Structures are given as structure tokens and as C-alpha cells.
Amino acid sequence: MLDELLPKLAGFELIEPVARHARLAFVRVPKTQVFSLLGQLKQSLGFVTLQTITCADWIEDGVFRLTYLLETATRDRALGVQTDIGREGEAIETAIPLWPQAEIFERELHEMFGIPIIGHPSLGDFMLEGWSHTPPMRREFDTLKFVQEHFEMRPGREDNQDVREAIRRRKDAKKQAVGDAPKPKPAASGDAK
């Protein structure tokens, strides 16, 4: 697949496919060129289906890496088009004009990561009604702290255990039980058989 795409994607960073996924490749492009490339892939190269838009939070680099996963109509090739945007409020254009199903994916990106989507018709509450905290999929969001601050332990759950500690206790009890088991007596040398 890369041999066919390489001349058409000159100047972009191509990421070799994993051997077991020979029909899947990735290309990384600057944000300023992502939508012209997506349009070209759809119109000229047959990548007519947008499977999903994913986001990886590279907090150390200060970016979100967006991946637009495309597939051909015959499902024989898939291409992930990646671009980086700044974590602190940098916006990206909507992909709805190319793929109407992008509307749902972009709503999720906005709500879960806080990514502004320019031109999107409805970025209101999606899954998190009335959410006013750090978007929950950002790496700085502390899930345990949030739960402890906003929820009370349900009655009857006072015996809730730390899973790692419970497993350790079970293993220790099993070792002790094996150590306490009666040892078989060796047969006497003069016993008749």
C-alpha cells in the first residue's frame, strides 16, 4: 500500500505499517495541510469512509495527536492521517463537510479533551451533562481525586477492599496452607509389599 501512496504523499512523514497490519499505514501532516490531504484522499484515492477520529494526549510535548482513520469502500486499505495541535486551546476545523459522521467524533473530542472545533454546529453537552471540571480524558485529570471529592461511598460498601492487598492476602494464606499440610510419612525399609 505504501508503494502506491508514497508518490502522492511526498513531503509528509509516512509511518511504516506493522507486519500483521499490512493494509494499514499512517501519515503525519502539519495541521495546516490536514484537511487538503483528507479531501484529496477521499476524492482521488478512494478513502471514502471515516472510521473514527482518535486523540492521544502527549502532555510532555504539549500537544494532542489527532488521528483520522480512513478506509476505502472495498475495505482493502486503511490510512491513519495524524496531526498535532496544542493542548492549551488550539482549535481544529470540523471534518463534517467531508464526512457527516465526524459530528459525533468531534463532539466527543470536544467534551472529553476540551478541543475547540471550528465550524461544528453543536458542541453542547454530549455525554457529560453539566460538566464543569477538567475534561476527563486529559492526562492531568485525577479520576480518583474527583470520585473521592464528589461521591459518597454507598451504604453497604464499607468493606470495599484494595484489590492488590486482597490478592496478596489470598496468596499468603495459600502458601501458609501448603506449608501447614501434613507431610506424607516415608515408607519403612522393612515393610512388606
Phi-psi category of residue 16: left, alpha or beta, with phi > 0 → left and psi -120 to 50 → alpha: beta
| 129 occurs within a structural domain | yes
Query: In 44-190, which ranges are continuous DSSP H helix?
Result: 102-113, 143-150, 163-180
Q: What is the pLDDT of residue 25?
A: 84
At 31-77, the pLDDT tens digits run 999 999 999 999 988 999 999 999 999 999 999 999 999 999 998 88
Q: Which domain holds residue 58?
A: 2-179
Tell me the CATH number at 162: 3.30.460.80
143 found inside a domain = yes
Question: pLDDT band at residue 176, thresholds of 50, 70 and 90?
Answer: confident
Q: What is the pTM of this model?
A: 0.74
CB contact at 8 A, 131 and 125: yes
Contacts of 123 (CB under 8 A, 6+ apart): 106, 107, 110, 111, 117
Summarize pLDDT for 47-60 with one digit per residue, the tens: 999 999 999 999 99
Is the separation of the CB atoms in 23 and 76 below 8 Å? Answer: yes
Q: Give the per-residue pLDDT at 3.
A: 58
Q: Identify whether 193 is part of a domain.
A: no
Asked whether residue 139 is domain-assigned, the answer is yes
How large is the average pLDDT for residues 165-180?
85
Total domains in the fold of the chain: 1
